[in-house]
Structure 1
Amino acid sequence: MLMDKVESALVNSGPRRALQRFYEAPLLARLGGRIPGGRAVEIGCGSGYGTRLILDRFGAAWVDAVDLDPRAVESARLRLAGYGDRVRIAVGSATDLRAALEAEDDGYDAVFGLAIIHHVEDWRAAIAEVARVLRPGGRFYFEEVTLTALNRPTYRRLFDHPREDRFTAGGFLVELPRHGLYRDERWRTRIGGDYVLGVAELRPAG
């Protein structure tokens, strides 16, 4: 579902962008490494600030990105115009990258989901789509807001999120290996009551 105006303003605020740039992106890079020369896709790109971090901080050579909000997609295109054909941005859903980007199976070295899957009503389908488009050994970089946070009075008052079938940190992490996404000593995770942030690798079971 689309972000409401209050959350959209927060996501595009200076403090939120500083948190992404100076804390979240460096931590994800430490947990999962960079992807120099790689091809990445970002689900829920918003106005393109995270996309730029994927290019500059993580070293991706090309990034495809989608968002449900046409206005955000237009903002992202303007923000990232200087990257030329290294960036492709489309209106589309995290649960169907084939429709938005003609994304093939095993087509990407990395998928980034930066606080977006909790907005997706069928969040399990979004994780399945992440796994579908990753090549074997590809990495899923994620940061997510959990049910614990969404149930807090401030969240419920200020922001509009799907109400049914929300995930806890543990529930999110349990879902990953059901789609071949695993964590080990290299691909670690940080968990908080309100948030879960980490990196998982696509690989066969066992």
Structure 2
Amino acid sequence: MNDQAYLSKTYVEETRFGFWFLRSHTWQHHVLRVAINDLRQLFDGPLPEAPVVLDAGCGQGKSFQYLHKVFAPSQLLGTDADPHSLRLSQAEATRLGLSVELRGSDCAQLQFADESVDILFCHQTFHHLVEQEQALAEFWRVLKPGGYLLFAESTEAYIDTWVIRWLFRHPMQVQKSADGYLQMLRAQGFEFGPQQVSYPYLWWSRSSDFGLLERFGLRKPPPVGQREETLVNVVARKPLRADLVQP
């Protein structure tokens, strides 16, 4: 599918269906838009003014219009390890009339300066990464003190279903539960409370019936704490330097 080498030695190539799906209306309207709006609601204070926003794993650039609308960035950056996706991202930015600086890179080796980003958006990218610890350390490095990581992921409970295994391609050995991802974020040093975490239970993430039984009133959705979460959204903050000083 790709006519140019990937920029990551551990890149897991997506299926043809998956690549098509990432430019579909369903992806843009029911996945991306919903996730960004949910993440916006998880902030416990005002948004950074005129932030530098980085989309880590920007794919085909379908997030750009929503990130621009919600966060009003002074600078919008994007990176991806797939050169073909980057070309499509550039075309999308041009179509939208947006200025987006795109750089090809592996998330485990971001080509951005230390402490140069106010908001790092990582949406449905992390479960594609093999070197997750290194990628998270890179997110930490490029974020300014007090900056925010917007982390939105599908969990192992969803990725390991037969439908997703059949239609898409993922490195199965690194998939984690919602709690596993939260523990990883905290271990890196990111801070967040329960009010900065949500567990969307969207129709497309239902591993058994895509929510059809609930839609027809034949079953009530199980509450948080009584189900295996398929999605987790987090607004995590890199502490200010003063916060890191031990008393």
**TM-score (ref. length: structure 1):** 0.89
1-structure distance, mates of 2:125, 2:188: 18
Q: Which amino acid aligns with 2:78?
A: A
For the residue of structure 1 that corresponds to 2:42, the secondary structure is: helix
The 5-angstrom pairing of residues 91-102 of structure 1 reads 91-98=104-111
Larger Rg: 2
2-structure distance, mates of 1:21, 1:57: 12
Question: Deviation of residue 66 (structure 1)?
Answer: 0.6
For the residue of structure 2 that corresponds to 1:95, the secondary structure is: helix
For the residue of structure 2 that corresponds to 1:106, the secondary structure is: coil
1-structure distance, mates of 2:182, 2:134: 14
More strand by share: 1
Question: Deviation of residue 68 (structure 1)?
Answer: 1.4
2-structure distance, mates of 1:7, 1:35: 34
**Larger displacement relative to structure 2 (135-144 or 28-37):** 28-37
2-structure distance, mates of 1:157, 1:185: 34
What is the match of residue 45 of structure 1?
Answer: 58
2-structure distance, mates of 1:165, 1:16: 23
Which of 220, 237, 241 aligns to 1:201? It is: 237
2-structure distance, mates of 1:104, 1:51: 21
Which of 107, 132, 135 aligns to 2:141? It is: 132
Question: Deviation of residue 21 (structure 1)?
Answer: 5.5
For the residue of structure 2 that corresponds to 1:2, the secondary structure is: coil
CA distance change for structure 1 residues 128 and 75 in 2, over 3 Å: closer, same or farther? same
Question: Deviation of residue 8 (structure 1)?
Answer: 1.6
Question: Deviation of residue 35 (structure 1)?
Answer: 3.7
Which structure 2 residue ranges, 5 or more long, are not aligned?
Answer: 1-11, 201-228
Kindly, what percent of the aligned residue pairs are identical?
22
For the residue of structure 1 that corresponds to 2:234, the secondary structure is: strand
**1:74 partnered with 2:82:** no
Question: Deviation of residue 185 (structure 1)?
Answer: 5.8
Aligned Cα root-mean-square deviation (Å): 1.8
Question: Deviation of residue 191 (structure 1)?
Answer: 2.5
2-structure distance, mates of 1:2, 1:40: 26
User: Residue deviations 1:49-91, cap 9 Å, x none?
Assistant: 112321222211111111111111111111112223xx11122
The 5-angstrom pairing of residues 78-157 of structure 1 reads 78-81=91-94, 82-84=97-99, 87-98=100-111, 103-157=112-166
1-structure distance, mates of 2:125, 2:36: 15
The 5-angstrom pairing of residues 150-189 of structure 1 reads 150-184=159-193, 188-189=196-197
Question: Deviation of residue 136 (structure 1)?
Answer: 0.9
1-structure distance, mates of 2:197, 2:185: 12
**1:12 partnered with 2:23:** yes
Check the 8 A contact 1:55/1:62 in 2, yes or no: no
**TM-score (ref. length: structure 2):** 0.75
What is the match of residue 191 of structure 1?
Answer: 199
Question: Deviation of residue 22 (structure 1)?
Answer: 4.5
Moved over 3 A (4+): 33-36
For the residue of structure 1 that corresponds to 2:121, the secondary structure is: strand
1-structure distance, mates of 2:15, 2:104: 17
For the residue of structure 1 that corresponds to 2:91, the secondary structure is: helix
Check the 8 A contact 1:35/1:59 in 2, yes or no: no
Q: Which amino acid aligns with 2:233?
A: L
1-structure distance, mates of 2:103, 2:14: 17
Q: Which amino acid aligns with 1:156?
A: R
Which structure 1 residue ranges, 5 or more long, are not aligned?
Answer: none
Question: Deviation of residue 143 (structure 1)?
Answer: 0.8
